[in-house]
Structure 1
Amino acid sequence: MPLDIRALPAPLDAALVEGLRKVDFPTLGHYLEEGFCDPALQRVAGSGKLVGRAVTVRTTATDSTVLHHAAGIVGPGDVVVLDTGGDRRHAPLGEVVVNALVARGAAGAVVDGLCTDIDALRDLGLPVYAFGRTPLTTKLHGLADGSLCAPITCGGVPVHPGDLVLGDANGLIIAPAGRLAAVLDEAIEDDAEEPALVAELHEGKPLGSLTGATETLRLLGAFN
């Protein structure tokens, strides 16, 4: 495929970003099915919650020229989301690229592939998600192939520039802002109600009675 270099996406809504920082990401799993990356795509460096704007990059298996360009133009709150075309041998993301992202104030990085320099990445503290690690790195071949801020796939999820990237120790969600905004208020309400539910469990009340699951089974004839 030819080179496809586009402008950075529009800024995210600040109120939506702040709301997403407050919600427990697994609570979103009560309301959504789409946007959840392959569970093998896990955090290998950094800590805490990641909320940021997706800046999409596509590279070839061996050439990270486009990624080096992208690392120099991202800004605060951006998350580089990298599609390697399915490569699971080469690491395009390592100490130098992640230092460049930190210097630009980026929020994190996600690679649909491997990373390297894991000790240095952990020292830097930037949230980085990858499928694994290797000492075999990409090179700067300067191939006329790759893209910046064009649609890609990462962790089995279609990703568009400007999508929201949510990450924690459980994994990653990448979804359009509008889809997340539609369920955010209900998810925050659920989080607020959970401590009372947990307290009732420790008082001896059955979970199925509290959630209505037992009554549902009764209506389905499970206890006849």
Structure 2
Amino acid sequence: MPLNIHDLTEVPPLDEELAERLGRVDFPTLGHHLEEGFCDPALRRQAGGGKLVGRAVTVRITPTDSTLLHHLAGLVGPGDVVVVDCGGDRRHAPLGEVVVHALASRGAAGAIVDGVCTDIGALRDVGLPVYAYGTSLLTTKLHGIADGSLNAPVVCGGVPVRAGDLVLGDENGLLIAPAARLAAVVDEALADDAEEPDLLAELHRGHPLGTLTGASRTVAGLRTPSPTSA
């Protein structure tokens, strides 16, 4: 397949105000309001800490060649999260110490590999949030194969990703979705988080969870009436 390369100037910029509001949300709260966009739970944070909020910039590489990733590493800027589609390969690590230092030096917010990474000790020392399925000693090379894409649609953790989507990550996992989809639920999620301390207090006062959430009332309405005796 030919190269499919889109310049970073074509990628929608990060909405800083929306990113700030999302950064105040407890990310699992978004799981109460959304079903799509959640990456495979096996795609775990390998390095870094805290919350990851940023703009997706995408790269698709062949299993053995990271030439395009090296090129992209020199183009990213603050708030960018590099999302690497490895074509399903989980043996060759395209991301290690040098690439992560390159991303960190440009102010990137993080990196996600739909595959594996390497140099895990060095990655943890750098502190840039890195998500991957695990680690490997086998690395990619710079073959210069004319196959792959930059800032074109990819798949990561089973989720379709477009350049410009928002990436949210913490120790629980990853959510990648269009900004408009997240903007539609962020206020409700923030309201839920604000109400949670009162809910927890009520639980410790002895009130049943099902009563507080309405689940018990729903269950009562679902119960099948007993047949009337003749």
TM-score by length of 1: 0.98
RMSD: 0.9
User: Alignment partner for residue 36 of structure 1, among 32, 35, 38?
Assistant: 38
Q: Which runs of 4+ in 1 moved over 3 A?
A: none
Post-superposition Cα deviations, 1:11-61, rounded to whole Å, max 9, x if no partner, equal 121110000000010000001000000000000000000000000000000
Query: Structure 1 222/127 Cα, relative in aligned 2: closer, same or farther at 3 Å?
Result: farther
Post-superposition Cα deviations, 1:77-135, rounded to whole Å, max 9, x if no partner, equal 00000000000110000000000000000000000000000000000000000001001
Query: Structure 1 203/223 Cα, relative in aligned 2: closer, same or farther at 3 Å?
Result: farther
Alignment partner, residue 139 of structure 2: 137
Alignment partner, residue 209 of structure 2: 207
Alpha-carbon deviation of 1:4?
1.1
AA matched with 2:82: V
Q: Name the CA distance, whole Å, in 1 between partners of 2:137 and 2:221.
A: 58
Could you tell me whether the CA contact under 8 Å between 2:43 and 2:131 is conserved in 1?
Answer: yes
> Which structure has the larger Rg over C-alpha atoms?
2
Q: Which runs of 5+ in 1 are unaligned?
A: none
- Summarize the alignment of residues 18-33 of structure 1 with structure 2, pairs less than 5 Å apart: 18-33=20-35
Alignment partner, residue 200 of structure 2: 198
Alpha-carbon deviation of 1:10?
2.0
Query: Structure 1 223/195 Cα, relative in aligned 2: closer, same or farther at 3 Å?
Result: farther
Could you tell me whether the CA contact under 8 Å between 1:217 and 1:223 is conserved in 2?
Answer: no
Alpha-carbon deviation of 1:214?
0.5
AA matched with 1:44: Q
AA matched with 1:108: G
Q: Name the CA distance, whole Å, in 2 between partners of 1:180 and 1:10.
A: 15
User: Which range is displaced more, 169-178 or 7-16?
Assistant: 7-16
Alignment partner, residue 115 of structure 1: 117
Alignment partner, residue 5 of structure 1: 5
Q: Name the CA distance, whole Å, in 2 between partners of 1:50 and 1:144.
A: 32
User: Alignment partner for residue 164 of structure 1, among 163, 166, 175?
Assistant: 166
Percent sequence identity over aligned pairs? 74
Q: Which runs of 5+ in 2 are unaligned?
A: none
Alpha-carbon deviation of 1:223?
8.3
User: Alignment partner for residue 55 of structure 1, among 48, 54, 57?
Assistant: 57
TM-score by length of 2: 0.96
1:126 aligns with 2:128: yes
Q: Name the CA distance, whole Å, in 1 between partners of 2:113 and 2:45.
A: 10
AA matched with 2:3: L
